[in-house]
Amino acid sequence: MQAPEFKVQGWCPGALRPMESGDGLVVRIRPRRASFSADQLRAIAEAARTHGNGVIELTARANLQLRGVTASSHGPLLQVLERLGLLDQDPAVEGRRNVVLSPWRSTADADLAEELYRAIAEGPDLPGKFGFALDMGERRVLADTPADIRLERGAKGLILRADGVSGGMDVTRETAVTEAMRLARWFVETGGVTEGRGRMAAHVKRLALPFDTGAIPAPKAADPLPGQREDGALIAFEFGILRAEALVALAQAAPEIRMTPWRMVFLPGAKMPDIAEAIIGPDPRLKVYACTGAPGCPQALQETRNLARRLAPLTPGVLHVSGCGKGCAHPGAADFVLSATRQGFVLARGARAGAEGLHLKPAEITEETFSKAM
């Protein structure tokens, strides 16, 4: 078998531990409670222009990341983030604080997140990709969001569920964090970091969980669509990319901006702001995922986003265009995936990036040939 032409880092960038890319350092900002105040967002917009290249990305972990940061501008950027209360005590704690919250959470849910942050900081040394999901709102909306340990709305109350297992155990708000961390310690102590490849779903295929899993999750809600809602404005951006000017517009529209894992932001109680690049209704680009691609990523073998943009209206399902076999933009399986090679792309159905399939040269991926391949 041919060795892959990419390197799996095994960790996500942070603010204290940025990741090198083709356009400079990628600095990821993990907001507490998965939300920013308007003042924080204005300051981040200015920092993106001053210390980066002005490009901001919405991540699948409900974070923001700034691109184009240099070695000399990273220190001044950290000073800004520290003043805003957006830095952790050290890179190890920052790396473990991977917690996604539903944008429709209650104040009690957000308080529970703070309790979980403290427990994670004092807890076991978890893998860099290991994450938690707090999905306890009236609708269960994070079922398709990658996470290893889930606190969810159950059919009769709150449940704790391990990724890869259909049922969970009943918990209360008083016991939820304690039980979640007990599960995290079990994962580490039973070899999940190595034998489970660092992810819960792989580990539970090997070992039975240490608790009953008879509690049933609440039904999964429909995928959210951007637009004006009774409770606020839900706004999407193509490939999750926006400029600093768009952050300023969001800050002007609402006092709080909540992050989501869907390349969208939620402005509770707000009216839809006028942002040129925003997606505010049904759009084929919502079902298309594409990483930075070449030349922005040093591991990418082809340009991705112009191709994804061109193919979006033709795809009857989720399309993932990946610059290499890692699949950073969409780690799960997609209805159709184009994985870049040095010669072109490999087209596969119902697969993850890097899957075997039909080999196509870039010039062969026309609207006509792609429609026939569908």
Angle at 36 between CA 35 and CA 41, to 5 degrees: 150
Note the pLDDT of residue 331: 82
Name the region of 198 (left: φ>0; alpha: ψ -120 to 50; beta: rest): left
Asked if pLDDT for residue 1 goes beyond 70, the answer is: no
What digits encode the pLDDT tens for the residues 56-70?
999 989 999 999 999
What are the residues whose beta carbons fall under 8 Å from the beta carbon of 141, sequence distance 6 or more?
102, 103, 104, 135, 220, 221, 224
Note the pLDDT of residue 11: 58
Residue 329: both structure tokens together: 């933009």
Look up tokens 């992050």; give the residue: 259
What digits encode the pLDDT tens for the residues 268-303?
999 999 999 999 999 999 999 999 899 888 889 999
Question: Beta strands 169-171 and 158-162: pairing type?
Answer: antiparallel
DSSP 8-class letter at 339: E
Question: How does the average pLDDT of the chain come out, rounded?
Answer: 92
Q: Tell me the C-alpha distance between 244 and 234, whole Å.
A: 18
Note the pLDDT of residue 2: 42
- Domain residue spans of the chain: 19-92+223-279, 101-203, 284-373
Strand, helix or coil for residue 102:
coil
CATH number of 19-92+223-279: 3.90.480.10
Phi first, then psi, for residue 264 (nearest 5°) are -135, 160
The length of the chain is 374
Q: Tell me the C-alpha distance between 120 and 130, whole Å.
A: 11
What digits encode the pLDDT tens for the residues 326-346?
888 888 899 999 999 999 999
Q: Tell me the C-alpha distance between 63 and 43, whole Å.
A: 16
Asked if pLDDT for residue 10 goes beyond 60, the answer is: no
Cβ atoms of 299 and 292 closer than 8 Å: no
Would you say the CATH fold of 284-373 matches that of 19-92+223-279?
no
HSE-CB at 158 with a 13 A cutoff on CA atoms is 20
Name the region of 350 (left: φ>0; alpha: ψ -120 to 50; beta: rest): left
Q: Tell me the C-alpha distance between 116 and 222, whole Å.
A: 27
What digits encode the pLDDT tens for the residues 157-197?
999 999 999 999 999 999 999 999 999 999 999 999 987 67
Share of the chain above pLDDT 70, in %: 95
DSSP 8-class letter at 335: E
What is the pLDDT averaged over residues 257-263?
Answer: 97
Q: How many CB atoms lie within 10 A of CB 363?
A: 8
What digits encode the pLDDT tens for the residues 93-111?
898 999 999 999 999 999 9
What digits encode the pLDDT tens for the residues 214-224?
999 999 999 99
CATH number of 284-373: 3.30.413.10
What is the pLDDT averaged over residues 131-145?
Answer: 94
Note the pLDDT of residue 364: 83
Question: Percentages helix, strand, coil for the chain, rounded to the nearest 5?
Answer: 30, 25, 45
Residue 64: both structure tokens together: 């923001």
Sheet bearing 132-135, strands edge to edge: 99-101, 132-135, 149-153, 158-162, 169-171
Q: Tell me the C-alpha distance between 136 and 173, whole Å.
A: 10
What are the residues whose beta carbons fall under 8 Å from the beta carbon of 373, sequence distance 6 or more?
347, 358, 360
